[in-house]
Structure 1
C-alpha cells in the first residue's frame, strides 16, 4: 500500500473527489444492464457491471447486533461491489480485539483490499500494519477521521465527528435549549466521544454525558427515563444513533418530560418520527455513501491507481441536518434503506 512510488495528487476538495470518483467509476462500467448482485447479497443494483477481473474486498466494521445504521453502510458497499465485479466479504464485531481478528482473517484470505472502521484505533493499529506489510490496500470509513493517516490508510470516507458535534451544539442554541444530556451508548468509541465533546464546545447551555448500554434497549430506556425523572430541567436529549433516539422518545413519554429529542444518524423509522414531530432533528452523515465509496475507491485503486483526497484529505460525507422542513425529500430513500 506504499504510495511513495506513485506521483502525489494535488490537494482536492471532497466535492471534486466525489465527482472524479463517479466519473472514473462510470468509465469503468460496461454498457450491459442488470448487473449481478454481490455474493454477499447486493443492494441497490447498477446500470452495468465492470468488465474488470473479479477481486475480493473485505469490509470490517464495529457493528453491534441489531444496529440498523450498519445495514445502510452495507447496502452502499453491496451496490458498489455489484457494479465493480467485487466479491464482498462483510464481517463485524463491536469488541475491538475481535474486530482486529476479523481484519486478520481477511489478510489470511489474501483479499485485494480492506475497508475498516476505526472506532477504537489503537486496537486496530497492529493488524492494519500487517495488512500493509502484506501489500493489501486499506481504507477507512465512518470512524477514525483523526487517526486514519497516522495508521497509514490510503483514504477515509466519513464525517468529522467533532465538527458534526459543534454543528449540533449551535443548533441547540438556535432552538433555545438550556440543559441537555448527550447519551453515550458505547464507551471507548472515539467518534461518539468526539460528538459529545463537539456539542459541549459550542452549546451555550449545560451539557452532561449519560452513559447507557447500547446493546440492551430496555436498559437504555430505563436509564434515560430515570434521568429525566430526576432532573426536570433537561429540555433536550441528544442521542448518538437512531435506535437510541427512538428509545429516548419512549423515555420522554414515560417520564412525563417536555424534553425534545435530537440525534445523529437516520433510519426509516427515524425519518417518520421527524415527520411526526417526536424527533426534533437529526444529523445525517450519509452511511450509504460511506460504504459505497469505500468499496468503489479500492476498485479504483486496484484498476487505475487512484486515491481520493491525495492521501491527505478525508472525503467528507456529512454533516447535514434533517428536520421537518426537508425530511420529505429524505424519507423515500430512508424507506428503501439507503439513508
Structure 2
C-alpha cells in the first residue's frame, strides 16, 4: 500500500533534489557519518551583522522566509539595527541556547564571531557562513565532525567586473575614491580590493573615505571630500547606503554623469533608477535572495538526510544599462 504524498512533501523532495544536484557535485558529494545528527524540528537561525532595515538584508530575509515556507520548517532571520558584530554574536549565542537546528551567519568580524562558533560546534549545531566567507582556519579548528561551509560569491571578482566598466570611460591615472559605510567589515575590504583590481590598467590614484551609515552625514562627508579633491573622477560605493549618499550628492551638485562616475554595490530602487538615468555606471548584483534560501536548504538536507554541505561560491552579476530593465522587474517582485 502506497501513501499519498502531500504537495508540501513533493515540494520538499523537489527542493532537496534540486539543491543536492546543483550544489553537491559527483566529485565532492559525500555522505556524513551515518545518523550524524538526527532530523530536527527545531528553528533554523540566520543571523547577520546588520538587520533587515538595510535594503540588501531585507532581500536575504525574504530568501530565509521562502526556504522556511518551502521546507515546512521555522526559519528566522535576525540582525542588529545597525552594523554591530558584538550584537550579532549575542544573537548567535541566543540561538545556541535555544537549541537551534542550524545556524547561518557571517564573519564580518572573525574575532568577535569566533567564540560563538566554537560553542555552536561543541553543541553539535551545524553552521553555514553566508555573504562573508569565514577565515580559512575556521573549518579545521571548529568542525569536530560538525559541518562548516560557505554560501556566497567571490566579492573580489564581482567588484572587479563592476569596476572594469569604467576602464573605457576614465583616463589613465584618474583620481578615484572608495566610500565605506561600515569600517571594519572584512568583506568590504575584499570588495575594495576587487574594485581596484578591475581598473588596474588605468594605474589610478585611489583614496578611501569612511562615510558611516547615516545618509545625511555621509553626503556632507563626501561633499567636503570633493571640495578638497575636485579632480575626483569616480566614486565606488560598498553598499546601497553608500550609493544613496553618492547619488543624492551628485544630484544636488547637478554634476553631469560624465563628470564623476559612480560604481555601486547591491541592488535597490535608488540604485536601479540611477543606472537607468546614467548617474551610476554599474552595480554589483550579489543575488542575495539565494544567500537566504540556500543555506537553510543545505542545513535541512544535513539534518534530515546526513548530506554534508559543501561550499557554494558564485561570481556575482553586474547590473548596467543593458540589463537594468529586467533586474528592475525582479526587484519589484522582491527578488533583488
Q: Aligned equivalents of 1:128 and 1:180: distance in 2?
A: 38
Q: Which residue of 1 aligns with 2:189?
A: 193
**CA deviation map 1:54-100 (0-9, x unaligned):** 44101100115731110000001110110111112222122212211
Alpha-carbon spacing, 1:327–1:146, altered in 2? closer, same or farther (3 Å): farther
Q: Which residue of 1 aligns with 2:177?
A: 181
Alpha-carbon spacing, 1:268–1:317, altered in 2? closer, same or farther (3 Å): farther
Larger Rg: 2
Q: Aligned equivalents of 1:234 and 1:146: distance in 2?
A: 34
User: What TM-score does the superposition give when structure 2 sets the normalisation length?
Assistant: 0.80
What is the correspondence of 1:141-290 to structure 2 with a 5 Å cutoff? 141-147=130-136, 149=139, 152=143, 154-176=148-170, 178-203=174-199, 204=202, 205-214=204-213, 216-257=214-255, 258-290=259-291
Equivalent position SS for 1:246: helix
Q: Which moved more, 1:69-78 or 1:198-207?
A: 198-207
**CA deviation map 1:106-134 (0-9, x unaligned):** 00000110000111111111110100100
Q: Which residue of 2 aligns with 1:115?
A: 104
- Per-residue deviation, 1:199: 2.0
Specify every segment of 5 or more residues in structure 2 that has no aligned partner in the other structure, as ranges: 1-16, 25-38
Does the 8 A contact of 2:19 with 2:297 survive in 1?
no
Alpha-carbon spacing, 1:22–1:315, altered in 2? closer, same or farther (3 Å): closer
Q: Which residue of 2 aligns with 1:85?
A: 72
Q: Aligned equivalents of 1:220 and 1:22: distance in 2?
A: 40
Alpha-carbon spacing, 1:321–1:145, altered in 2? closer, same or farther (3 Å): farther
Q: Which residue of 2 aligns with 1:71?
A: 58
- Per-residue deviation, 1:256: 4.7
Alpha-carbon spacing, 1:19–1:237, altered in 2? closer, same or farther (3 Å): farther
Does the 8 A contact of 1:59 with 1:115 survive in 2?
yes
Q: Which residue of 2 aligns with 1:41?
A: none
Does the 8 A contact of 1:289 with 1:317 survive in 2?
no
Q: Aligned equivalents of 1:254 and 1:332: distance in 2?
A: 28
**CA deviation map 1:158-190 (0-9, x unaligned):** 112222333334333233252211111111100
RMSD of aligned Cα (Å): 2.4
Q: Aligned equivalents of 1:305 and 1:75: distance in 2?
A: 26
- Per-residue deviation, 1:244: 1.7
Q: Which residue of 1 aligns with 2:113?
A: 124
- Per-residue deviation, 1:101: 1.0
**Number of aligned positions between the proteins:** 292
Does the 8 A contact of 1:62 with 1:92 survive in 2?
yes
Alpha-carbon spacing, 1:275–1:220, altered in 2? closer, same or farther (3 Å): same
Q: Aligned equivalents of 1:121 and 1:218: distance in 2?
A: 30
Does the 8 A contact of 2:153 with 2:316 survive in 1?
yes
**CA deviation map 1:187-221 (0-9, x unaligned):** 1100001111222234232211111111x111011
User: What TM-score does the superposition give when structure 1 sets the normalisation length?
Assistant: 0.79
Specify every segment of 5 or more residues in structure 1 that has no aligned partner in the other structure, as ranges: 1-15, 24-51
